[in-house]
Each structure stands twice: as C-alpha cells, then as structure tokens.
Amino acid sequence: MATFNSESSGTDIVWPCSVTQKSKNKLIALAKVQKLKEHQSFHRTSLDYSVIYVQSGYLNLFIPSEEMESIIGSVVQSGQWCTTELPSFPHNPLNIAALNDAEILVFEGEKIKKLIEGVPEVNMWLSNCRNQCSQRLLHSSFLAKKDKTALLAHVLCSLCSSERNKTNTISISQNQLSDLLGLRRQSINELLQVFQFNKLIKLGRCKIDVCNLKHLNEVAESKRKLSIVKPRKHGCENGSEKSGFEPFTTEEHQSHCLLPGEKLQPDY
C-alpha cells in the first residue's frame, strides 16, 4: 500500500461528520492508498480493525454465512466509509471485496487508537464511520427479510446514483449481484427480467442500463406495482426447448400485479 499525500487538505474527501482541519490532517497522515482489482478481497494487515474510505469504484461489504441466502451485504460507493468490524456485529468480522476496480484509503485501527489519545475528536469521526456502515447493513438486512424485489431495486438505485455515474449504465454482472445480495443467480435473473419487462432497466452483457430511475426508486420504497413475467419454454426447430420469459395472461396479471411484498387476497 502506498502512503496517501499527507500535504492534501482533505477537501476532496467526503467526511462523515464535521471535524476540524487539524483532525483531518492527522487522519490523512495515517491513510494508505490501496487499489483493488475487480473481485479482489481486502485483506487486513493486522488483527485490529480498519476504516476504509472509497476513493473510486464500488465495494461489496458483507457478513459471510455458510448459507448463501443468509448473507447480509451492502454496496459501498465512492465518497462513503466502512469498517471491517462493528460493535453491532461483534462476532461477525465484515468481508470487503471490490465489485469493480476500486481505489481505497485504509486507516489502521491500531494507529487510530493512538491518535484518539491525543485528539479525542477523532473518536467522533470513528463513531460516525461505524454508524454509516451499520445503518447500510441493517437496511439491507431489513429489505432482505421483507422484500427481495425492493432490495435489488435499492442496490441498483445506489449504483446508478453514484456521482461518478453520468450515463445511468451500471457495469455489473448477475453473478456479482448474486454475491452481493446473497441470492441465487436464477433468482437475480428472474427479478431483472421483471424489471426489464416493466421498462425500468435494459439488460446487456455484464451491464444494466437504468431506463427509469424514478420508478426504480419507487420499487425500492415498495410504492410501485410491477407487472410480473413468468418462465416459459419455447419449442425449437431441432425439438429442443429454450427457456425464456413471457407476461402473464390477463387473468394472471390481475392476480399478480402486486406491490413488492404484497400478498394475494382471497376472492370471496
């Protein structure tokens, strides 16, 4: 890891709370620059925690689990902070991996502790970094338990709304989304097909074009109904079958055009 430019005033860094310039300079002096390639994991250099600031790119921050569907993950994008340990998850060290090529600043916990002894204000900065990280994971955990559709929409909105994203195109594969959300690739594909059928997105090779960010946000907030598509099988000329998707019939559509998480009511 390279040393960050200690002469920088830190004006390009988005700080999680208001701290004095003196504290900023002290923290910047601790920072180490590290570049992560796509899919590369961040490895701590000590047993202590680390605080990470994302300079560019996207990170996948998640609590690992043996059961894929139990993974809690969140996107950390440029301008945001995260940590490798949280008081709210004391027995679950957090894993961090790059969703695409990323550049990060690393602040080692051992050095932060020493700095806090001389500059108590730094403790407020540390608490705010942890709170940001914790809130992101708790929100993802809530959506994962309540509504997978809203969770996927929330992640796509987060990736699309990055200040560095000027084209509404998200460079991400379905496998990456699967790892990020703890959902099987088939489930991710089916949800994306629903989004595409509703003209929220357009799928490409390892990319997703967001066609209607406003409506996608409404799905993330469980405020928009979606027309549902279902798997179908096509007969091919050679007699084989090809999988695909098609809209429900009128009767099926009336029954399945629901808000995310909404259940069908019996027709008495």
Q: Going by C-beta distance under 8 Å and a sequence separation of 6 or more, which residues neighbour residue 72?
A: 62, 63, 65, 137, 140, 141, 144, 182
* Mean pLDDT, residues 45-64: 85
pLDDT digits (tens, 9 = 90+) for 186-201: 888 999 999 999 999 9
Confidence of residue 21 (pLDDT cuts 50, 70, 90): very high
Residue 165 pLDDT more than 60?
no
Confidence of residue 11 (pLDDT cuts 50, 70, 90): low
pTM: 0.68
3-state secondary structure of 132: helix
Confidence of residue 246 (pLDDT cuts 50, 70, 90): low
Which has more pLDDT, 180 or 256? 180
**AA identity, residue 180:** L
Residue 103 pLDDT more than 70?
yes
Of the candidates 97, 113, 118, the residue with the CA atom closest to the CA atom of residue 38: 97
Cα 69 from Cα 181, distance rounded (Å): 8
* Mean pLDDT, residues 113-135: 92
* Mean pLDDT, residues 27-53: 89
Q: Which residues pair with 63 in a beta bridge?
A: 72
